[in-house]
Structure 1
């Protein structure tokens, strides 16, 4: 077990791709073992890929790319501008609202952050917003996609922990909206102090708001349709992923009439590349997961942590601190696959709801992508907008504090996450 961990982190420090760092370290466990045949490791790779719930991941990834080719993104930007650009720091507020709306389309924080950096980032900088503030707003704001359905992280958590994906989707709605409100308030305070003006002189009329919402109706209805389809029993979460692809094609071809054959092929190519990376990590994680369970890693860690405290809230805080540190160095997908089997039995033993824990866990592991030293979303945004990491870090501190405060509230008030699942399911 020690060899597996040392090899994994050693390969990561040397810059090896995450999938191969997991695969090599996992396979080395079976090669060095005198008890387990090496063939078992290969079987675990195959077994990890043979899961019906796992089909939701490639379908939703493809659906996100398809929707970016259908004119949905441009309509959501226009809708966001009408809704909030009249506020102080209006252009930055658009980034926060767009992240919330895009959470129901892309399902990926990194994809959302990169898209906003390309489309909105240059305009913010030209209008006087500092590079650090622009990058921090875009990157930290993309965290909202971690909980707004269809979150890919919640799908993976439900798959690994055998937790209802439908309940997870419902549980993420209110925390996601609270993140939006909290970040918008923080951006408003900073903008007021610095004199970042609104993009619009006057508040929009109800007529213009209604027109913008109506224009983006098919995008806004998408997450609602997903939740209704799952709650109504029309589709399983995996089947809803296939429905999402069909929905994107229908919107792009018949309703918006913007999805071309070339655009569809480009979306398929990007979906293939993204899915290849994600599924490879999932498959190789099967070996590591088997090794962790065989060595009784969850039981050992659980016993050690339970010796420290049996208070559920304190335990959750300890796990959150660990996830915050781990998220700074390891990508969110990897953390979900490797740490869910370890931490979920601990919180279950203490009576913490597994759905509530999933929302907190996904928020924290995704949050690591917005923080130094190796945050994926942070690097994506800073590289696209040519922003020094030091400037980004200083400008992100108020937004980071807002997120951490919200996570603290979620820990101590689980009803925020559980209200909708308990009400509707």
Structure 2
């Protein structure tokens, strides 16, 4: 009865447009207030303990590194390189959009940062070339979902931290699914551009000299994902230290090699990083406290027992979970669900014999779909607000992308090797 009351309060606050993190904190506060067995300091201790962890520093570092990319000239050079590679093809700018998400995904780790950056830089160019604003915004939102799957995705770090799963293995496991999603989007936008008459005048085929110059400019940025993954696999540093390396790398490139970052830019990047990090950490803190409350109420154990009793096959369990996550993802922010649900699902994985690394990629894909789904979708609101596209227009244009994402998730479910083969080879 108490749990039902708390959930009702949280839902009501969300409906009243209270941020999800604060709504959860309010619900947990009620639980502690009405329960006399807890001291007044217990809630504060639970909230603080949620962010008092060394692995979470990786999130801080990679968010900072991603923001620095936009101030050091790295993003601009990535855009030039992507335009040269795909600009002469049918739907060239749409393909630039996808390719840039792949390149930036290996650098920033933040889908929100990627979506915001492309909404400001790429979408206006697409609209000038004749693309529908709604299509451009929907594609930008969807292509940004490549970011949390590719290393060093923030979601991978968060899932590994909460679920006690190797973050290094998760980084490797996300490579093939991330590139597969990019390939599917490239094929789709090719035919969509042809069918809808987008960008009929293509750029001329680039010369070898142009490609060589663009590759040289982008090479230092392209080396960063290789440096991160290689350093982790060789044991030179862990995922958290890799984030610090990424920040240092971005600063060295911006200050001493490209020489485009000024002191004013550095201050602006620091402020932007702090704002994003604070938002993420508040969500983690609130989600941790809420998850602790659910554990005390035996919710994970009861759900695991009910699920394993009614569903016997691992594949059926994952398909059922896909439907559940798609529904819940419409109302709860992805990082919040990641923190709350991971401890609930981990005991079930042991029962069904599902590899936690494979499950992590599947889980993050499911949560990513929720970020472009109304009414809560964070990426949906980010791209729509920056591009000035109406939400109803965005929803109409994003439907084909939903179907593609669900199809990819089903492929990941039925072919675990897509996420497990590379870690097994490189381990």
CA displacement at 1:151 relative to structure 2: 0.6
1:109 & 1:139 partners in 2: Cα distance? Answer: 9
Partner of 2:112: 110
Q: With structure 2 as the length reference, what TM-score do the two structures score?
A: 0.96
Cα contact 2:66–2:113 (8 A) shared by 1 = no
Of residues 357, 371, 376 in structure 1, which corresponds to 2:373?
371
1:176 & 1:198 partners in 2: Cα distance? Answer: 29
SS in structure 2 of the partner of residue 107 of structure 1:
coil
Cα contact 2:133–2:387 (8 A) shared by 1 = yes
1:178 & 1:203 partners in 2: Cα distance? Answer: 26
Structure 1 residue runs of 5 or longer lacking an equivalent are none
CA displacement at 1:418 relative to structure 2: 0.9
CA deviations on 1:158-190 (whole Å, 9 max, x unpaired) are 110011111111111110100000011011111
Partner of 1:33: 35
CA deviations on 1:284-336 (whole Å, 9 max, x unpaired) are 22221211111111111111111221211111111111111222222111111
Flag as ranges the 4+ runs of structure 1 deviating above 6 A: none
Partner of 1:317: 319
Q: 1:199 to 1:178 in 2, by over 3 A?
A: farther
Of residues 88, 92, 96 in structure 2, which corresponds to 1:94?
96
2:398 & 2:250 partners in 1: Cα distance? Answer: 34
- More deviation in 318-327 or 195-204? 195-204
Partner of 1:293: 295
Q: Is residue 242 of structure 1 aligned with residue 240 of structure 2?
A: no
1:195 & 1:53 partners in 2: Cα distance? Answer: 48
Q: How does 1:308-387 map to 2 (within 5 A)?
A: 308-387=310-389
Cα contact 1:136–1:392 (8 A) shared by 2 = yes
Partner of 1:23: 25
1:247 & 1:199 partners in 2: Cα distance? Answer: 38
CA displacement at 1:208 relative to structure 2: 2.9
CA deviations on 1:182-214 (whole Å, 9 max, x unpaired) are 011011111111222356344334443333222
1:44 & 1:201 partners in 2: Cα distance? Answer: 56
- More deviation in 224-233 or 322-331? 322-331
1:347 & 1:209 partners in 2: Cα distance? Answer: 47
CA displacement at 1:84 relative to structure 2: 0.9
1:215 & 1:129 partners in 2: Cα distance? Answer: 28
Cα contact 1:8–1:25 (8 A) shared by 2 = yes
SS in structure 2 of the partner of residue 179 of structure 1:
helix
Q: How does 1:275-286 map to 2 (within 5 A)?
A: 275-286=277-288
CA displacement at 1:373 relative to structure 2: 2.1
SS in structure 1 of the partner of residue 237 of structure 2:
coil
1:207 & 1:323 partners in 2: Cα distance? Answer: 48
2:399 & 2:194 partners in 1: Cα distance? Answer: 17
Cα contact 1:86–1:198 (8 A) shared by 2 = no
Structure 2 residue runs of 5 or longer lacking an equivalent are none
Cα contact 1:26–1:291 (8 A) shared by 2 = yes
Cα contact 1:85–1:199 (8 A) shared by 2 = no
Question: Aligned-pair RMSD on alpha carbons?
Answer: 1.5
Cα contact 1:27–1:41 (8 A) shared by 2 = yes
CA deviations on 1:71-130 (whole Å, 9 max, x unpaired) are 000001011101111121111111011111111122111211111111111121121111
2:298 & 2:212 partners in 1: Cα distance? Answer: 57
Cα contact 2:131–2:199 (8 A) shared by 1 = no
2:416 & 2:36 partners in 1: Cα distance? Answer: 45
2:289 & 2:385 partners in 1: Cα distance? Answer: 34
1:339 & 1:216 partners in 2: Cα distance? Answer: 39
1:205 & 1:347 partners in 2: Cα distance? Answer: 52
SS in structure 1 of the partner of residue 147 of structure 2:
helix
1:285 & 1:46 partners in 2: Cα distance? Answer: 11
